[in-house]
Amino acid sequence: MGEALKSQSSRTMSLLSQLEKINLGSVLGEADNARYVTSKILHLVQSQEKTRKEMTSKGSTGIEVILSTLENTKDPQTMLNILNILIEVISVGGGRKANILVAKGGTQILLQLLLTASKDSPPNEELMVLLHTLLAKIGPKDKKIGMKARINGALNISLNLVKQNLQNHRLILPCLQVLRVYSTSSVNAVSLGKNGVVELMFKIIGPFSKKNTSLMKVALDTLAALLKSKTNARRAVDRGYVQVLLTIYVDWHRHDSRHRYMLIRKGVLQCIKSVTNIKLGRKAFIDANGMKILYNTSQECLAVRTLDPLVNTSSLIMRKCFPKNRLPLPTIKSAFHFQLPVIPASGPVAQLYNLPPDVDDVVDESDDNDDAETESEIETENDDKDQHFKNDDIETDINKLKPRQELGRPLEELKMYERFFPELSEKFQECDLVSKEPKPFIPDANLSGPIVVPTAGEEYSAETKQSTKGVALKESNPVLTEEYNRRPAFLELPKKDSVKDSSLHQQNDQRNLSPSCQCLNQEIVKGLDRMSLQTSAKNDQYYSTACVITKESKTSLTTLACSNPCEHVSPCGSSLFEGSSVHLGKLCCTGVDSEEEDSRSSSSGEQVMLEVSDVSPVHDCDLYIEMVKTTKSIPEYSEVAYPDYFGHIPPPFKEPILERLYGVQRTKISQDIERLIHQNDIIDRVVYDLDNLSCLVPEEADVLKFNSKFESGNLRKVIQIRKNEYDLILNSDINSNHYHQWFYFEVSGMKTGIGYRFNIINCEKSNSQFNYGMQPLMYSVQEALNSRPCWTRVGTDICYYKNHFSRSSIAAGGQKGKSYYTITFTVTFQHKDDVCYFAYHYPYTYSTLKMHLQKLESMHNPQQIYFRQDVLCETLAGNSCPLVTITAMPESNYYEHICQFRNRPYVFLSARVHPGETNASWVMKGTLEYLMSNNPSAQCLRESYIFKIIPMLNPDGVINGNHRCSLSGEDLNRQWQNPNPDLHPTIYHAKGLLQYLAAIKRLPLVYCDYHGHSRKKNVFMYGCSIKETMWHTNVNAAACDLMEDPCYRVLPKILSQTAPAFCMGSCSFVVEKSKESTARVVVWREIGVQRSYTMESTLCGCDQGKYKGLQIGTRELEEMGAKFCVGLLRLKRMSSPLEYSLPSSLLDIENELMESSCKVTSPTTYVLDEDEPRFLEEVDYSAESNDDQDTELADNVGDYEATNQEDGLSDSDSARILLS
């Protein structure tokens, strides 16, 4: 057998050698010999796969010899033999073999032969069939084939052959395939269109017939490619072909009952899809009743899963042709106005202020210039598509990348910030320092001992776990435990606050602060007045309940004695928080479901046992109200949202990432299309409207009531569409006309057992984690009254998709044709006539922050902790921006101890520059509570660093329900390069603090700005590296010679090992041009802080580690804040040369980069790289977003879970874990 194969191989080579000699003209009788040799080769190729492989194997000249013969021969039979040989060779092995043929110049030879053969009269039919068959096979692999055919003059040969041989299906089939290949070039498509190709295609696809279906399929594919040209599409519309296509589709739909011709049906839809890319096509489609036709046919296809491609394509066409609507608003500018002290000279805010008052900024311009332009289809046949993704946003100028430490302001001017650093001059003469009393613990004793962190993974048990402060206290430390138990249950407010409150007494009397259940049903209210937050004596009787809390450590039950003098008041489960005397009005004291009333309701004063699984040490209902009174909002809110008043306790159950239902998006789109088809079914009733103050609250029992007139609320208008379906419109950021994403609103008046659909219809991002398992959050007042005050993930049929509401160019930065997006979700309520709140993410208001800081200050041990709260500056609205300083008190006022205190390195933290990223505040809460805890490692951390923290950089944005901007209408995280003290005071002064530290040579060791990320999972960091930035560009030579300290990678690496939610694989250290004015880049480049980070926390959940497959909650976010602190402690130990020598392998970033595919985020705020795979459901989420599957981000760190055991490891063990 081996001998036979060997002889076969040598036979092939011998024949090719003979053929080569014939080409060189060294053999007599060339034509006959060539015919004979090629027929032998053809026989071998047809019978032996080995021969086919040999012809295209590496180093073989077989293809060159064959092509050379084809080019030179005049013998028709030899040509036919060679064409058959080539067809055989490339038919096995697919694209690679075709590429070889293209690379050897095969396309030009075939086109030239086609041109020559066409001059024969009549042309050789067999030759034409084979030539076109071969061109159709190699054409898709030659991106230049369209241009080559046009230059060669071969373009119309195939078209004329089809015209002259309409009945010869064997000939025109490959000709149509070649025309389809040519038509990928828009220039060719236009040229062919002028020669009547569109009309010709409609002759072929003509009336319905099941004969020659293969020809029909190819003709439809060719027509779909041709109609992508606007010129050809207009030609088709002008000749009434849209109606013809719809008729053909309906015919095939009716006659193809066994679904054998799905490809033909899809081909017709692809033609409709192409022709409706132009405005005239869409209008013709609507006029021909296309919406109803495709809607009805697709509904009939839903039952058969194999017909999904037809349903999906129909859905895309209908969504595209759905007439664009303007948002039902008088203006897209915010419903609230704030006059700026200074108008920027340029930019979107300047444009907003310069708009003439009569300009309609909501106008739909989506199709204005769609067909008016001249044909601008130019040659695009180049290799650009083959080029790898290149991010032009990456900074390539090495001079701009190199940090250039510069103060930016005169030293004299920076001295104004000296007052924010009293710790650098404090002598502590008057202080009662730790050394004068027995120490609760030895600071350095537990240096390598356990690091106890509040862990999100712990399950909560009401029966076995004693209510704690939320920070882990070691049972083995009696001093700490005793100190905690001594803490009074009721904490007095500092006197300075009460003075401040009294000065505002008169003002607050006029601000009728009340909870925001504007529209409660009588069953819950029972005719009682609403809770008032006025300080007048008249209302005191309604909320001066004396709530006494006693702890029973074994059962963890809180006994509440509620002595309320009001009638009809059942005791409430609202005193859930340690250290708070909760003053609730009658509404809050009603409270249980009607079916539970018999067992739960009792006369006033009866004790009710409430089961509490966890308490928050820093939530105080009364204190929250006091904080609200001093919060200044632009709408002058007079109501308080119940979730902010009651507080939030993380639910004791896990909340998995929601599995997406198949076909959910097309179902929602078809329901939207029903609005157009069945317009009489649409109610279209406005039930809430900020722009129309006379809008009445619906009185009907079956209509939901809405409200968002409270801090951080954002809801502008609600329209009832169907009985249980509502369209919601969000308010723009103040002094802006866009940034709609954050929502927080109240709903009441619901019934149980009914699915209510909510559509938020003016979102702007092109994709969202709502498409990847994220759910919105809901807070039930009824549940809170039943001792379950928590935000929970809810909603089914969740989807995020482009809708038919168009964004005006004014709102889209000058771009026309942009659409808004819809978040849709369906909720079935548990309780009748409940009051529920919905939010984009866990709300965290400015008043909540003030309350938390106040509680932390009142609860801390001043002997151990140096805690100081300053007002950095006032915001545009007159709210204070808190600045917090935390460190350990010096051991004594001896010189050595004071020196050690003053010389601690600084860590500078900030958060919440973007109001909609509430998760950043929860992470910051975790950081603050950990730093203030009695935990030995927290004390060690305080002794290691001085923390300067700005927990909320954008109070005004948070208060007024903005998503991204401050009152200046600008993204404050794009103002760090040149902040304006009048427009961006918090950024100006935050940068001033850092500039002052740089001026006195006290650069922070770490700067970190906490953010939230709406498109990616996990928690991760962005840092700054010149070398890594250069690696992502073509400027590799400069990067090779660059020396850079890789210390910026250490902290993220530590966090990836200790924080379960953190993912090193998602981190990036690339500097982009569009991010040059962000805090991270400016602090790195101008201030000179090498470890300058943005820490991004997901809004959705995790896809790795301990929390894989779970949505993130406040417990996990707070844990991340605590783990960040632990990471800083590890960083301190590892970077201290006396304590630890850092192995170089940890910082071998070159190797790590090669192992991981760390991706760079794209330049813009709105179009970001997705980290999700495509869905099986083929749905075009948006024209703007790239839906392709991304390469997986490699997390080369592994899935190491932090545990208590790990926390107890020694430093050397920790290092081994880091390096493993």
**Three-state secondary structure of 68-115:** HHHHHCCCHHHHHHHHHHHHHHHHCCHHHHHHHHHHCCHHHHHHHHHH
Burial-class residue 556 by CB neighbours within 10 Å (0-12, 13-18, 19+): buried
| Residue 35: C-alpha distances to residues 31, 89, 352, 530 (Å) | 6, 18, 78, 101
Contact status, residue 770 vs residue 1173, Cβ threshold 8 Å:
no
Token pair of 778 as six digits: 């809901």
C-alpha to C-alpha distance for 189 and 183, rounded to whole angstroms: 5
Nearest to 688, CA basis, from 666, 703, 671: 703
3-state secondary structure of 1120: helix
1096 is catalytic: yes
Token pair of 99 as six digits: 């590429």
Cα-Cα-Cα-Cα dihedral sign, residues 194, 197, 200, 202? negative
Nearest to 834, CA basis, from 756, 938, 728, 735: 756
Contact status, residue 728 vs residue 807, Cβ threshold 8 Å:
no
Q: Of the residues 578, 746, 917, 1096, which is catalytic?
A: 1096
| Pairing outcome for strands 755-763 and 744-748 | unpaired
| Pairing outcome for strands 744-748 and 717-722 | unpaired
C-alpha to C-alpha distance for 840 and 838, rounded to whole angstroms: 7
Token pair of 142 as six digits: 């030659």
C-alpha to C-alpha distance for 612 and 607, rounded to whole angstroms: 15
The DSSP H or E segment spanning 56 is helix 49-56
Contact status, residue 497 vs residue 620, Cβ threshold 8 Å:
no
Residues 215, 217, 222: CA angle, nearest 5 degrees: 95
As beta bridge partners, residue 717 has 689, 729
Tokens 């089809």 — which residue?
Answer: 162
List the 608-611 sheet strands across, edge first.
Answer: 547-552, 557-562, 608-611
Contact status, residue 987 vs residue 975, Cβ threshold 8 Å:
yes
Contact status, residue 620 vs residue 852, Cβ threshold 8 Å:
no
3-state secondary structure of 210: coil
| Residue 165: C-alpha distances to residues 132, 188, 396, 441 (Å) | 14, 22, 59, 98
As beta bridge partners, residue 727 has 719, 759
Q: Supply the Cα-derived Rg of the chain in whole angstroms.
A: 36
Going through 662-739 in order, the beta strands assigned E by DSSP cover 685-689, 705-707, 717-722, 725-729
Give me the phi and psi of 962, to 5 degrees please: -70, 160
Nearest to 30, CA basis, from 87, 61, 69: 69
How long, in residues, is the chain? Answer: 1220
| Pairing outcome for strands 835-839 and 865-874 | unpaired
Task: Give catalytic residue positions.
Answer: 1096
